[in-house]
Structure 1
Amino acid sequence: MRYLPVFLDLHAGKVLLVGAGELVRAKLRLLAAAGARVRWYATDGQHDLAGLAAADAARIERADGDPLAADLKGVIAILCAGAGDIGVAMSVRARAAGLPVNVMDDLDHSTFIFPAIVDRGDVIVAVGTGGTSPVVARRIRERIEAVLPARIGDLAGFIGGFRKSIHGVISDSLLRRRFWERIVDGPIGALVLAGRKAEAAKALEAIADPSAFAGATGEGKAEGHVTLVGAGPGDPDLLTVKALRALQDADIVFYDELVSPEILDRIRRDAARVAVGRRVGKPGIGQDATNRLMIEAAKSGQRAVRLKGGDPFVFGRGGEEVTALRAAGVDYSIIPGITAGLGAAAQFEAPLTYRHKARRITFLTAHKARDAEAVDWSALTDKTMTVVVYMGMTAASTIRTGLLAAGRSPETPVGVFARVTRPDAKSAVGPLARLPDLVKTIDGGPAILIIGDVVAQSAPWRQSNPTKILSELLEAAE
């Protein structure tokens, strides 16, 4: 992130505007709508205020003379639009004076840029693309405007009117946030969004015990909760709406190392983040310590999220964690995620079931060679069974040996699908006999192994065997 989104207090001083033509008038309209006081140097001498309301026009000072010699006392920012070479010179002067400056369509001479803006009164949404693509920013703004309630600014102002009084009643910051979340998400917030602020105010004032309304415990603290959240295989767009809400509501998040940075970015900015997972060959804090941290967080009144790659109940130790939370008397909930096996199947078009070819699926884990040695491979030799192996890279040789010894054909199609749903996802497909060699080609995990005839339906297999596919099509046509 090169540009930090900030909001400039336009009541703190004047904005110096330099330029001419429609470009500068567009900036003038924007500044006027925001209530700014503006000193405008029209480089063509035409101070045309047509179209501005009288109150807005009254805040515009039409300045003459050389803007490069202008008095900068009381100026909080400088804007240049349609100013030509003067814009570059004003940039030099602004930087020397330590003032933020924007020269339209000139990133090299600007210290800030204008975002696409969604204006809902007290709620302002700014969308930026680093100045690279205003069209993309406008498209995003249009989508936000389509889903953002028209009166969301009224809701913000409504809450602002009651903040001080509620602050005086609820001293605990966590409990205060819970109170306002219940207001925003509940019937009182809905009344404001429906334009019925007077009714909403009466309903809020009728809350006899705001702390109890917020969900306080007997000690007057916020009630804690733990949510087990499946983060999916890596693509943040695969998070469920419910998972996103949990990440935004969390006070603290305990996350696995397999959770992608893009998903961690969806966590509320001021929530604490604690890494508790481990990768192969790297020690973690251990399951008992993780359980203890979650329980302590909940008992202190925090809303904790245990963020796990894939799905909590598919080789994610979610069952163990629920057992620990239940034994400690901690309130909890579970939000499923897309498990990596399903993510691999979808991304690489490898159906786990296929009519007349694959009627059953077995999911297993083979973290180490001894895990693979403990598997009863004789139960997995049915050609109509698809075998999905999690954490099987290091045990690939043992997996191959076990299946071959049990009678599975060495020509059985297999796929190694690494970092599924992520931008750097990679696959390698081939016969079971070559499984260890395939693992070596995908440049590290995490990876899912899919074993069975269905792999021959996958996109990587089709791309790597065009002659075979053509032969099969010709045989089918005959």
Structure 2
Amino acid sequence: MRFLPIFLDLQTGPIVLVGQGELVRAKLRLLLAAGARIRWYATDGNRDTSGLDAEGVARIEYVEGDPVIADLSGITAVLCAGAGELGHAVAARAKASGVPVNVMDELAHSTFIFPAIVDRGDVVVAVGTGGASPVVARRVREKIEAMLPARIGDLAGFIGRWRKPINDKIAEAPLRRRFWERIVDGPIGALVLAGRGTEAEKALTEIADLSIYAGAAQAGVVEGHVTLVGAGPGDPDLLTIKALRALQDADVVFYDELVSPEVLDRIRRDASRIPVGRRVGKPGIGQDAIHKLLIEAAKAGQRAVRLKGGDPFIFGRGGEEIEALREAGVAYSVIPGITAGLGAAAMFEAPLTYRREALRITFLTAHKEKDADKVDWSTLTDDKMTVVVYMGMTAAPAIRTGLLAAGRSPQTPVGVFARVTRSDAQAAVGILEDLPTLVGQIQGGPAVLIIGDVVAHSAPWRATQINKLVSDLLVAAE
């Protein structure tokens, strides 16, 4: 390690900035974001500050003259960007005066370098490569950005506000440490990270005996938590950043059978994995049994994830699960996922709404023929309504019969989109009258049916029309 990572307190004195062009303006934005006061030698005479807010501009002092002979007393650091040979002379003067200096992209003239920065307010992460490869540093920063909760800075600020009053009440340092570990890793920390700071403040004030709370952590008594996570339709790259963090933090994951192996690979390696879902022809353990497992895991102090295909609240029975958790007094949170209907629309370019053509969307489920018989199809006959049917392959004949009997046109475009967003995804498009035949062209589910004029805008429909046109031309040529 050639460069020791340090953090400069920019409130101790101004920064001298020398240079011109977009390079120096990039440094301006960075320094102002950190609250710095700046003495700016604009070497090209251009003092354009467009794009900067008025509060930031007020902290800029425009300086004339030669920066090589500038007074450096009380200066926190000197930065040169786009200054050319003048920057080298300024750097030599700063070094002679014992002032930290950075000349952008020139290690030989610098006593410190700028890392790639992850800024989360009170939490700042710096990534450096010793100046060897800023691109590598940026790539590492991107990985860290993806892993860190967006509100991790809020959590640090929350603890900072409470640190002194709590520390005054817990004299023993080991107990204080365990207390804060329990806050960070437990439900109160989860509330802050979820943007529910007021509830977190209330929960912390309601801890009656802080020493007992810390002692419980010392004794291994910890509070569990259940997170309902939407796994999306199958492509692991469609998992949200928050979902990935939950999978990496989990002690145990209860997952649906329809969750793809690629998504399961994102789970922390040493976490327990328990299948609890069901699929066509394979009954699962039952919803009540799932509730029992989730509650038991949380009460045992585990961080449990209920991993559900698609989105927990769209035909995922997530509502039932949080009601059971709420009644059991178990802390929980919900992370949404991309539902299969949206995944199908994006993958196969079938817009679910379209100006002047499709103004409404209805999502419904028809797992079996008896489910289709319970649907009031008369409410779905508007030709400006897109109907998205989940788990509708088996009930396809009944769905067609119900819509046709209610008055929907037999020529309505329809699509059967299977295993959407996965590498083995498949589509069959045609008209409502032929829906069962289209389903027969699909080699296994899960699949969603999209019914409405929007299907005529999809990529498979366009391909079908092109193939038909080519076929007609070949016939005509013969």
TM-score (norm 1): 0.57
| Deviation (angstroms), 1:223 | 1.1
| Deviation (angstroms), 1:210 | 2.7
1:125 paired residue number: none
Contact persistence 1:249–1:268 (CA under 8 A): yes
1:401 is the counterpart of 2:401: yes
| Deviation (angstroms), 1:440 | 1.1
After superposition, the Cα gap between the structure-2 partners of 1:329 and 1:186, relative to the gap in structure 1 and judged at 3 Å, is closer
Give distance in 2, aligned partners of 1:255 and 1:185: 31
Contact persistence 1:225–1:298 (CA under 8 A): yes
1:456 paired residue number: 456
After superposition, the Cα gap between the structure-2 partners of 1:388 and 1:303, relative to the gap in structure 1 and judged at 3 Å, is same
1:369-410 Cα shifts (integer Å, max 9, x gaps): 000010000110000000000000000000001011111111
2:385 paired residue number: 385
Contact persistence 1:224–1:303 (CA under 8 A): yes
2:357 paired residue number: 357
2:81 paired residue number: none
210, 214, 218: which one pairs with 2:181? 214
After superposition, the Cα gap between the structure-2 partners of 1:260 and 1:141, relative to the gap in structure 1 and judged at 3 Å, is farther
1:465 is the counterpart of 2:465: yes
- One-letter identity of the residue aligned with 1:421: T
Give distance in 2, aligned partners of 1:265 and 1:320: 27
Give distance in 1, aligned partners of 2:216 and 2:175: 18
- One-letter identity of the residue aligned with 1:376: D
Q: Secondary structure at the match of 2:358?
A: coil
1:328 paired residue number: 328
Give distance in 2, aligned partners of 1:237 and 1:185: 27
| Structure 2: segments with no counterpart, 5+ residues | 1-132, 145-150, 161-171, 187-212, 471-478
Give distance in 2, aligned partners of 1:146 and 1:270: 26
After superposition, the Cα gap between the structure-2 partners of 1:349 and 1:298, relative to the gap in structure 1 and judged at 3 Å, is same
Q: Secondary structure at the match of 1:209?
A: helix
- One-letter identity of the residue aligned with 1:302: Q
After superposition, the Cα gap between the structure-2 partners of 1:183 and 1:350, relative to the gap in structure 1 and judged at 3 Å, is closer
Contact persistence 1:234–1:421 (CA under 8 A): yes
1:8 paired residue number: none
Give distance in 1, aligned partners of 2:304 and 2:143: 28
After superposition, the Cα gap between the structure-2 partners of 1:319 and 1:186, relative to the gap in structure 1 and judged at 3 Å, is closer
| Deviation (angstroms), 1:207 | 6.2
| Deviation (angstroms), 1:467 | 7.8
1:239 is the counterpart of 2:239: yes
2:338 paired residue number: 338
Contact persistence 1:415–1:455 (CA under 8 A): yes
Contact persistence 1:207–1:213 (CA under 8 A): no
2:275 paired residue number: 275
Q: How does 1:418-437 map to 2 (within 5 A)?
A: 418-437=418-437
| Deviation (angstroms), 1:433 | 0.8
Contact persistence 1:214–1:222 (CA under 8 A): no
Give distance in 2, aligned partners of 1:465 and 1:353: 21
| Deviation (angstroms), 1:283 | 1.6
1:258 paired residue number: 258
1:73 paired residue number: none
| Deviation (angstroms), 1:344 | 0.2
Q: How does 1:61-210 map to 2 (within 5 A)?
A: 144-147=139-142, 187=156, 208-210=175-177
Give distance in 2, aligned partners of 1:141 and 1:394: 51
| Deviation (angstroms), 1:184 | 12
| Deviation (angstroms), 1:343 | 0.4
1:245-284 Cα shifts (integer Å, max 9, x gaps): 1111111000000111111011111111100001110021
Q: Secondary structure at the match of 2:234?
A: coil
| Deviation (angstroms), 1:206 | 5.3
- One-letter identity of the residue aligned with 2:179: A
TM-score (norm 2): 0.57
After superposition, the Cα gap between the structure-2 partners of 1:465 and 1:243, relative to the gap in structure 1 and judged at 3 Å, is same
Give distance in 2, aligned partners of 1:186 and 1:206: 21
1:76-132 Cα shifts (integer Å, max 9, x gaps): xxxxxxxxxxxxxxxxxxxxxxxxxxxxxxxxxxxxxxxxxxxxxxxxxxxxxxxxx
How many aligned residue pairs are there? 295
1:411 paired residue number: 411
Give distance in 2, aligned partners of 1:392 and 1:228: 25
1:43-93 Cα shifts (integer Å, max 9, x gaps): xxxxxxxxxxxxxxxxxxxxxxxxxxxxxxxxxxxxxxxxxxxxxxxxxxx
1:166-223 Cα shifts (integer Å, max 9, x gaps): xxxxxxxxxxxxxxxx9999659x99xxxxxxxxxxxxx9564233222276744121
| Deviation (angstroms), 1:241 | 0.5
Give distance in 2, aligned partners of 1:274 and 1:145: 33
- One-letter identity of the residue aligned with 2:261: P
Give distance in 2, aligned partners of 1:451 and 1:332: 36
- One-letter identity of the residue aligned with 2:251: D
Contact persistence 1:310–1:340 (CA under 8 A): yes
After superposition, the Cα gap between the structure-2 partners of 1:452 and 1:337, relative to the gap in structure 1 and judged at 3 Å, is same
Give distance in 2, aligned partners of 1:148 and 1:445: 34
After superposition, the Cα gap between the structure-2 partners of 1:309 and 1:222, relative to the gap in structure 1 and judged at 3 Å, is same
Contact persistence 1:225–1:302 (CA under 8 A): yes
Contact persistence 1:298–1:304 (CA under 8 A): yes
Give distance in 2, aligned partners of 1:307 and 1:148: 23
Give distance in 2, aligned partners of 1:227 and 1:308: 11
After superposition, the Cα gap between the structure-2 partners of 1:324 and 1:404, relative to the gap in structure 1 and judged at 3 Å, is same
Q: How does 1:276-315 map to 2 (within 5 A)?
A: 276-315=276-315
RMSD over aligned CA atoms reads 3.5
| Deviation (angstroms), 1:145 | 3.6
Give distance in 1, aligned partners of 2:143 and 2:227: 27
Q: Secondary structure at the match of 1:266?
A: coil
2:93 paired residue number: none
Give distance in 2, aligned partners of 1:438 and 1:380: 21
- One-letter identity of the residue aligned with 2:318: G
Give distance in 2, aligned partners of 1:147 and 1:337: 22
2:229 paired residue number: 229
Give distance in 2, aligned partners of 1:422 and 1:358: 27
| Deviation (angstroms), 1:442 | 1.3
Give distance in 2, aligned partners of 1:441 and 1:347: 19
Give distance in 2, aligned partners of 1:416 and 1:183: 42
